[in-house]
Amino acid sequence: MTVLVFLDPAHPAGRLADAASPAILATDQGVTRGDGVFESMLAINGVPRKIQAHLDRLAVSAQIMDLAIPAADLWQGAITTALTAYADTSPQASDAVASALAEDQCVVRLIATRGPEGANAPTAWVQVSAVSPALAEQRAKGLDVLLLDRGYDSDLAARAPWLLMGAKTLSYAVNMAALRHAHKLGADDVIFTSGDSLVLEGPTSSVLLAHISDDSGVPVKRLITPHLDTGILPGTTQGALFAAAKAAGWELGYGPVTPADLLDADAVWLISSMRLLAPVNTIDGAEIGTRDIRERLSAELSALLAQTL
């Protein structure tokens, strides 16, 4: 079940469209060039989570690529219309899916393209659909991950703004290809590294690692994520978790992070709005920490993250 609501000047709360019928011109530059921006956010029981952070990042992504998109209040109206329509029409989740997800969760995607060639008007819509049960499984079981070279150095973002690094653009074909590559090799997911061997991010997630030390009898818990200067996407989930972890007494740090840091960590996670916190069991076949520590820290941080949802 998918609900589509187009942002349309003639419909201030958005225009519902039939998701099973064609709705975009074949000349739309989002289709022909992947020229556009998007966001994916989680809604629980009909309430979108971290909506302001997602609207802010959508605006920044659009600004980076000189794309004029509708104002935040129009997105808000369309999101409300879409979630209401989804709640009205969505059949009850099957028992298996409902228990895997524990709550009534759905994905809300905000998408804006440069519009049809020559029209100088963006195409923008909200799409609401079910959360994949596979994501809930990843949170519970954890992931086997491969390190893959992204092929450029960590200082490229500042030197080459035309590469749109740090923007959430529609051009995710490379990210999906990296995932397929990992799946063919029997892994679940990927952590990209830079040409100069720094840890970057996953194809659809931020990377997080924890170090626990107990030097003078006082346990110190430290969470680290790669620095944004490396051109990675600023993760809204990582940002929310860092704020909650700081309030709970964790120390926070921003990279540089090397592959050796990951292998030395007590725990590593891939974290994103849809997947939330998925522990990494192995990287290139090497176990990260121990299962006990991974499970304990994952439970602690998942509880903190749940407070932010």
Query: How far apart are CB 261 and ligand PLP at their closest, in Å?
Result: 18
b/e map of 63-97 (b: 16 or more CB within 10 Å)?
Answer: ebbebebbeeebbbbbbbbbbbbbeeebeebeeee
Query: How far apart are CB 272 and ligand PLP at their closest, in Å?
Result: 4
Q: Which is nearer to ligand PLP, 208 or 210 (CB)?
A: 208
3-state secondary structure of 42: strand
Query: How far apart are CB 233 and ligand PLP at their closest, in Å?
Result: 4
CA distances from 201 to 150, 178, 189 (A): 10, 12, 11
Q: Which is nearer to ligand PLP, 29 or 206 (CB)?
A: 206
**Do 213 and 223 contact (CB within 8 A), yes or no?**
no
Query: How far apart are CB 223 and ligand PLP at their closest, in Å?
Result: 14
Q: Which is nearer to ligand PLP, 144 or 201 (CB)?
A: 201
Query: How far apart are CB 91 and ligand PLP at their closest, in Å?
Result: 27
Q: Tokens representing 260?
A: 């050796």
Using CB under 6 A, list all residues that contact ligand PLP: 40, 201, 204-206, 233, 235-238, 272-273
Longest dimension (CA), the chain: 67
Q: Which is nearer to ligand PLP, 230 or 237 (CB)?
A: 237
H or E element at residue 181: helix 173-184
Q: Which is nearer to ligand PLP, 235 or 289 (CB)?
A: 235
Query: How far apart are CB 42 and ligand PLP at their closest, in Å?
Result: 8
* Residues sharing a CB contact under 8 Å with residue 57, sequence separation 6 or more, in sequence order: 39, 168, 234, 236
* Closest to 58 in 3D by CA, of 43, 44, 75: 75
Q: Which is nearer to ligand PLP, 74 or 179 (CB)?
A: 179
Using alpha carbons only, what angle is made at residue 229 by residues 109 and 37, rounded to the nearest 5 degrees? 20
Q: Which is nearer to ligand PLP, 6 or 172 (CB)?
A: 172
Query: How far apart are CB 54 and ligand PLP at their closest, in Å?
Result: 7
Task: DSSP for 1-40, please give it.
Answer: --EEEEEETTEEEEEEE-TTS--S-TTBHHHHH--EEEEE
